[in-house]
Chains A and B, each alone.
Chain A
Amino acid sequence: MAEHSAITKEKLWQELADAVVCMDEERTITLAQQVLENSFSPKEAILHGLAEGMRQVGEKFARKCYFVPEVLVCAETMYAGFDILKEHIPGEEAQKGTSVIVGVVKGDFHDIGKNIVALMLQTAGFIIHDLGYNVSVLTFLQKIREINPDIVALSTLMSTTLECMREVVHAIRGEFADISPKIMVGGAPVSQRFAEEIGADFYGEDAQQAVIGAKQLMGVQ
Chain B
Amino acid sequence: MKKTPKQRFRDFITREDLSEIPAVPIVAGDHAAHISGLTLKEVCKSGKKLANALVHSFRTYNHDLVVVFSDVTVEAEAMGVVLDFPEDNSPRIIKHPEIAEIQPKNPRKDGRIPEILYAAECCVNSIGEEVQVCVAVKDPFSLGVLLGEANTFFRDCIKNPQLNKEILEIALCNQIAFVHEIIKTGALPLIGAPFASGSLISPEMFAQFVTPYMERVIGIIRNSGLPVILHICGDTEIIVDRIMELHPDVVSIDELDIPVNAARFRDSVMFMGNLSTTMLLKGSPGEVFAATTELLNSVNDPFIPATGCDVPVKTPQENVKAMIRAIRTSEKKFRGMTQS
Contacts and interface: CB of A to CB of B under 8 A. Distances in A.
Interface in A115-164: 115, 158
A76 B155 contact: yes
Nearest to A25: B159
B183 interface: no
Nearest to A111: B92
A158 B40 CA distance: 14
Given A72-B151, A76-B155, A110-B92, A67 B84 contact: no
B201 interface: yes
Interface residues of A, number: 15
Interface in B179-227: 198, 200-202, 205
A6 B292 CA distance: 65
Interface of B: 84, 86, 89, 92, 150-151, 154-155, 157-159, 198, 200-202, 205, 238
A219 interface: no
Rank and list the top 5 A-B pairs by shortest CB-CB distance, nearest first.
A109-B92, A69-B157, A69-B154, A72-B155, A68-B200
Interface in A67-112: 67-70, 72-73, 76, 109-110, 112
Contacts, number: 36
A98 B150 CA distance: 27
B15 to A, nearest CB: 33
A190 B202 CA distance: 31
Given A64-B198, A68-B201, A115-B150, 6 more contacts: A66-B202, A69-B201, A69-B202, A73-B155, A109-B92, A112-B150
Contact of A158 (B89, B150, B238): B89
A23 interface: yes
Interface in A1-45: 23
Contacts of B201: 67-69
Nearest to B204: A67
A69 B92 contact: no
Contacts of B151: 72, 115
B159 A73 contact: yes
Nearest to A158: B89
Nearest to B206: A67
Interface of A: 23, 64, 66-70, 72-73, 76, 109-110, 112, 115, 158
A110 B86 CA distance: 12
B92 A72 contact: no
| Interface-centre pick from B151, B200, B201 (highest chain A CB count, 10 A) | B151
Contact of B155 (A66, A69, A110): A69
Contacts of A76: 155
A76 B151 CA distance: 11
A67 B205 contact: yes
Nearest to B161: A69
Nearest to A109: B92
B238 A23 contact: no
A67 B158 contact: no
A64 to B, nearest CB: 6
A128 to B, nearest CB: 13
Given A64-B238, A67-B201, A72-B151, A23 B158 contact: yes
A110 B84 CA distance: 12
Nearest to B89: A158
A109 B84 contact: yes
Nearest to B314: A159
Contact of A67 (B92, B150, B159, B200): B200
Given A109-B84, A158-B89, A67 B155 contact: no
A70 to B, nearest CB: 7
Contacts of B86: 109
B96 to A, nearest CB: 14
Nearest to A75: B155
| Interface-centre pick from A72, A112, A158 (highest chain B CB count, 10 A) | A72
B202 A67 contact: yes
A70 B151 CA distance: 11
B154 A68 contact: yes
